[in-house]
Structure 1
């Protein structure tokens, strides 16, 4: 028997099932203890292992509670294999107002990692504890860059598509998820050692740009690689940006623009031309134009990395080359 077949035969642990469903492990245990949705083949004194049939029941339970069915009724429906619509109809006499199917509240994630689906379910439920647990687990399991590219971003994009297609009905889900991602990124990055406090990289959104999450991901990834960062966040005024560059003399500057309406080519060129140092050996920064807003706004001589991994690689390579370039080179 292959290891894959053995895993299927043995079943999944409670923690693995919780990640798959997008709930906290305590939720799975509660559904087991309170509503009898535990593994069919559980042996007393041994760790619980969940088979495909056990997990299918829990998935029905999760879908029904997310659709507004009270937990006790959802559990009965899950045990009996009833659908969401049937459970909603059965529950209608005890609930005020007409019963409405909410089967369309799921997010379209295609062939994304299963962690995306769990995170999406938890986000739709506005389940803060589960979202935090799932984000932390993804970063711990895959590393910050892979977690961002293969778990966090696909889920964020699915949420964005959902509210755009629903008349902004799910804006609260995007705000909720974004706030928790910010916290997870900061928790996932180590503290900058005191002897590395002189940051080599300055990151800021261009004036008028308020979308900071991708820049926060880059900041966390750089810190994770031992590369100190000064992060200035959203909508950095042009004068303040120039002052910060002159005061700190960063080796690398990342300017984020989500929209073409905020991408500011003259500002990027001006910042790239700022010089400091002693006469005859003046230096200037390497400026990276980051984000989709710079598409079609290519600034000659300034790199435009296409994503987090590429931006991280450009910074690491520049640091390895000494970064601060003499003027005129």
Structure 2
């Protein structure tokens, strides 16, 4: 079901702000399209208040789809108006002049991100990312995390959108690299905004998170760090590509209850490093401790390390770390 189909059952239509959130564009963008290209609602109530009907929103959806292909906004607006209101587009022509059908525009299926049955919020994020609309993207990310919670927002909205962007990049050469970087950067910022202030560290009850040497994909580890902070569990986050000597020194200096080592690629996952960290000890003689070591990420697939934890997802990793820290 499209946004315009869902709106048709609501009777009074949607406000500009509601339409903007669902389409993933800024309200100022919609007002600009109204003012410049005549894509405003057909009916206004209470003076200048806009109420968008299903037909109105269908034009905006088409406008979004066309502009993401690189079509100039003025031309996209002309096509959107013509497709939705062919009679209005030809009303000013002489009666004897034959009606000319507009040239078909690139279809949405070939140009948009393939999100399948993903939540409506995914589509809003995808549109904002494709348009490189920073304000809309930040607003949508903050809203979806607040509405659904961090874990659900990551699994059901943010990660599917990131995967769709990745597929688009792979199928379109280098055209969409900037979209993936843009979306990842804003997701990282949203994670920092939603996380509570740092939890006071407790001796022997802290989690240390780091990417293995050569690994620069930090975003899943940032989600885990934010989720731990959300649960009032102290965490030290070291980010991308921490050298072996630095990993060992960080563990030695902090004595964490648990260590999470992230590897996105099998070429970076290091079994000797994980085993070395798991064998480290600290504390007084007779009561020395080892950290619980979690091998995180797809890079560890097929590299099971005896005695170490290998959670398969965010929820499982959170459960394992909470048990290690509080147990």
What TM-score range do you get, normalising by the shorter chain?
0.7 to 0.9
| Pairing 1:162–2:164 present | no
2:17 to 15, 18, 36: 15
The TM-score, its normalising length taken from structure 1, stands at 0.84
- Listed one character per residue, the Cα deviations across residues 178-214 of structure 1 (whole Å, up to 9, x for unaligned) are 1111111111111115x44767110001111111110
Given that 1:203 and 1:231 are in contact with CA atoms closer than 8 Å, whether structure 2 keeps it comes out as yes
Given that 2:210 and 2:240 are in contact with CA atoms closer than 8 Å, whether structure 1 keeps it comes out as yes
- Listed one character per residue, the Cα deviations across residues 35-77 of structure 1 (whole Å, up to 9, x for unaligned) are 3333333312585443322211110121222233333333333
Query: d(CA) in 1 for partners of 2:171 and 2:68?
Result: 19
Would the alpha carbon gap of residues 82 and 52 (structure 1) be closer, same or farther in structure 2, given more than 3 Å must change? closer
1:140 to 119, 135, 146: 146
Query: d(CA) in 1 for partners of 2:30 and 2:320?
Result: 43
Given that 2:7 and 2:13 are in contact with CA atoms closer than 8 Å, whether structure 1 keeps it comes out as no
- Listed one character per residue, the Cα deviations across residues 283-321 of structure 1 (whole Å, up to 9, x for unaligned) are 111111100111111112211111112211222233331
Aligned to 2:307: 301
2:245 to 222, 233, 239: 239
Poorly superposed stretches of 4+, deviation over 6 Å: 4-7
| Pairing 1:184–2:190 present | yes
Aligned to 1:121: 127
Query: d(CA) in 1 for partners of 2:291 and 2:51?
Result: 55
Residue aligned with 1:8, SS = coil
The CA RMSD measured in Å over matched residues stands at 2.5
- Listed one character per residue, the Cα deviations across residues 156-179 of structure 1 (whole Å, up to 9, x for unaligned) are 111111111222332121111111
Residue aligned with 1:202, SS = strand
Residue aligned with 1:298, SS = coil
Query: d(CA) in 2 for partners of 1:139 and 1:200?
Result: 25
The TM-score, its normalising length taken from structure 2, stands at 0.85
1:41 to 35, 40, 43: 43
Aligned to 1:292: 298
Which consecutive unaligned segments of at least 5 residues does structure 1 have? 84-99, 322-329
* C-alpha deviation, 1:102, in angstroms: 8.1
Query: d(CA) in 1 for partners of 2:159 and 2:138?
Result: 15
Given that 1:132 and 1:180 are in contact with CA atoms closer than 8 Å, whether structure 2 keeps it comes out as yes
Given that 2:207 and 2:325 are in contact with CA atoms closer than 8 Å, whether structure 1 keeps it comes out as no
Residue aligned with 1:10, SS = coil
Query: d(CA) in 1 for partners of 2:79 and 2:107?
Result: 16
Would the alpha carbon gap of residues 220 and 10 (structure 1) be closer, same or farther in structure 2, given more than 3 Å must change? same
Given that 2:207 and 2:258 are in contact with CA atoms closer than 8 Å, whether structure 1 keeps it comes out as yes
Query: d(CA) in 1 for partners of 2:201 and 2:247?
Result: 22
Query: d(CA) in 2 for partners of 1:178 and 1:287?
Result: 27
